[in-house]
Amino acid sequence: MLHLPLIALLAVAITDRPPEVRRTSNPAVSCHLDQTTPLLLVVRLRNRFRSQLDASVIPAVEMRSAAGAFWAPFSLGGSSLPMNSPESLGLGPKEERSYTLQLERLLWDKTISALWPAHTLRAFTPPGTYQVRVSLEGSSIERPQSRWVSSGACGTVVLVPLPAARGGA
Mind listing the pLDDT tens digit for each residue in 73-91? 999 999 999 998 999 999 9
Residue 52 placed within a domain = yes
- Per-residue pLDDT band for 4 (boundaries 50, 70, 90) equals very low
Whole-number average pLDDT of the chain: 80
- Which has more pLDDT, 95 or 27? 95
| Statement: the pTM of the whole predicted model exceeds 0.95 | no
Phi and psi at residue 104, to the nearest 5°: -75, -15
Q: What is the pLDDT of residue 61?
A: 94
Q: How far apart are CA 126 and CA 54, in angstroms?
A: 38
**Considering only CA atoms, which of 8, 99, 7 is closest in space to residue 60?**
99
CATH number, domain at 90? 2.60.40
**Considering only CA atoms, which of 138, 132, 129, 126 is closest in space to residue 103?**
132
- Per-residue pLDDT band for 95 (boundaries 50, 70, 90) equals very high
For the segment 121-150, the average pLDDT, to the nearest whole number, is 86
Is pLDDT above 80 for 152?
Answer: yes
Residue 57 placed within a domain = yes
Q: How far apart are CA 165 and CA 28, in angstroms?
A: 43
Q: What is the pLDDT of residue 7?
A: 32
Q: What is the pLDDT of residue 166?
A: 54
- The answer to whether 69 and 111 are in contact (CB under 8 A) is yes
H-helix or E-strand spanning residue 104: none
Residue 153 placed within a domain = yes
Is pLDDT above 60 for 14?
Answer: no
Residue 64 placed within a domain = yes
Residue 15 placed within a domain = no
Residue 16 placed within a domain = no
Q: What is the pLDDT of residue 100?
A: 93
Residue 3 placed within a domain = no
Expressed as residue numbers, the domain containing 120 is 25-159
Is pLDDT above 80 for 148?
Answer: yes
Is pLDDT above 70 for 120?
Answer: yes
- Which has more pLDDT, 5 or 104? 104
Kindly tell me the burial class for residue 26, based on how many C-beta atoms sit within 10 Å of its own C-beta (0-12, 13-18, 19 or more). Answer: buried
End-to-end Cα, the chain, rounded Å: 105
Q: What is the pLDDT of residue 22?
A: 36
The total number of structural domains in the chain stands at 1
